[in-house]
Each structure stands twice: as structure tokens, then as C-alpha cells.
Amino acid sequence: MKFFIDTANLDDIREAESLGILDGVTTNPSLMAKESISGEENVRNHYAAICEITDGDVSAEVISTDLDGIKREASELVKIADNIVVKIPMIREGVKALAWCSANGIRTNCTLVFSAGQAILAAKAGATYVSPFIGRIDDIGWEGMTLISDIAEIYAIQGFETQILAASIRNGKHIVDAAKAGADVVTCPLSSFESLFKHPLTDSGLEKFLADHKQSLSVAK
């Protein structure tokens, strides 16, 4: 399973990269706004800066919602770096754009996916990645992770090659559950990855090992 970081914050991306386990980055317009990145040139420069930190796939989201606009944005975004993946929303024009990108060798991430039917459309249109939003489904009282296992089952039966990118992942349990449910990729904030490190028995076990080591040194003296 691949690990993507879901942020536009360069420090967090550098930190995740330094862990040696980072496979890519996802962004969205809200995450760019959070970093106060606006204006075509600034956005472009920011994606270029992200692509300098990682060789992994970097999802850059289009703003247009019409086919011509999405095609124009996609064509510009992929000029930034070889590892740019164009993120396109699951709307009617988006599906057309996914098919156009696929036919023109542009890799895509179909975003804002909330049902297995939408995931089938994305795969049919040749999306490289499909992004079901787990946390947002949980937010409305449904079981988000069921969507990952449903899509994984359907894609396996149908032989679809689109990779399942579990998005809107909010904690370590989500990561583990997405791995069990058959996600190819998880994307989440740095804090969710960091929560995987933590276990009280690791902390107490290490404390005891180090204390015993220190004591054995004093006995040997």
C-alpha cells in the first residue's frame, strides 16, 4: 500500500519525505487556500516546489467544471513536472475529461467519490486513481470504510486497473482499516501517519530496556 500525504504544507511534506515512507502528495483547493496560495502563477510555483521535494505522484486539482476548462487546466498542470497527476471531480464533465486525459496519456485522480457507482464510472473513464472520501461519509453517519471494500471487490471482479486511493482519512485506525479493506493508497495529514508510531507498550518497553541497560553498565563497573 502506498502512503500519500494530504497537504499543501511544504514543511509537513518535507517531514513526511524524511520518514522514508512517502509515496506521493494530494492537495485540493481548500488545502492550497489554507497555505494562502492563490493566483495561477503562485499555485503553479507551489506545485513545482512540492514536486521538488518528492518524486512520488502529486495530485493537482483543477478548478474548472466544464470540459474545455478541465482539458486546458490538465494540459497546463502536467507541464509543471512528470509526477503531476491531475485531480478531477466526479461530475459529468469530469468523467468526459477523465476519458480525454486517459486517451492523451495524462494521469488522473478522480476526486469527490462517495459511491461504488461513481467508482465504476471513474474506472471506465480510465482514471489512474479513484478517491473515495472515507471521513466525510463517516461524518454523515454512514460507514465510510465499507465503500473501500465494495470498490475493491468490484474492481477485482471486473479487472479494473484504477488504483483505490482512500481519501479523507483522519486517523491511524482509518489507515489500518483502509489497508484491510483493499485500498492501494491512503492519503492523510502528517498527524495521522504519526499516530501509527504510538503505542504505550512500545514506550514502556523501551524505557525498561534502557533502564536495564543502564543498570547492567553500573553493575559491570
Q: How far is the CB of 209 from ligand E4P (least distance, A)?
A: 37
Q: Is position 87 annotated as part of the catalytic site?
A: yes
Rule CB under 6 A: choose which of 16, 22, 28, 144 binds ligand E4P. Answer: 28
Q: Binding mask 176-195 vs ligand E4P (x if CB under 6 A, - otherwise)?
A: -----------x--------
Q: How far is the CB of 185 from ligand E4P (least distance, A)?
A: 10
Backbone torsions φ then ψ of 156, nearest 5 degrees: -65, -45
Q: Which of 34, 79, 87, 96 does the annotation list as catalytic? A: 87
DSSP states of the chain as a string?
-EEEEE---HHHHHHHHHTT---EEE--HHHHHHTT--SHHHHHHHHHHHHHH-SSEEEEE----SHHHHHHHHHHHTTT-TTEEEEEESSHHHHHHHHHHHHTT--EEEEEE-SHHHHHHHHHTT-SEEEEBHHHHHHTTS-HHHHHHHHHHHHHHHT---EEEEBS--SHHHHHHHHHHT-SEEEE-HHHHHHTT--HHHHHHHHHHHHHHHHHHHHH-
Q: Binding mask 118-147 vs ligand E4P (x if CB under 6 A, - otherwise)?
A: -------------x-x-xx-----------
Size of residue set near ligand E4P by CB under 6 A: 11
Contact between 167 and ligand E4P per CB under 6 A: yes
Q: Point out which residues pair with 186 in neighbouring strands.
A: 3, 166
Beta carbon nearer to ligand E4P, 83 or 168: 168
Q: How far is the CB of 204 from ligand E4P (least distance, A)?
A: 32
Contact between 54 and ligand E4P per CB under 6 A: no
| Cα angle 216-220-221, degrees, rounded to a multiple of 5 | 120
Contact between 6 and ligand E4P per CB under 6 A: yes
Residue least distant from ligand E4P (Cβ): 168
Contact between 2 and ligand E4P per CB under 6 A: no
Site for ligand E4P in 77-116 (CB under 6 A): 111
Indicate which residues carry an active-site annotation: 87
- Rule CB under 6 A: which residues touch ligand E4P? 6, 26, 28, 111, 131, 133, 135-136, 167-168, 187
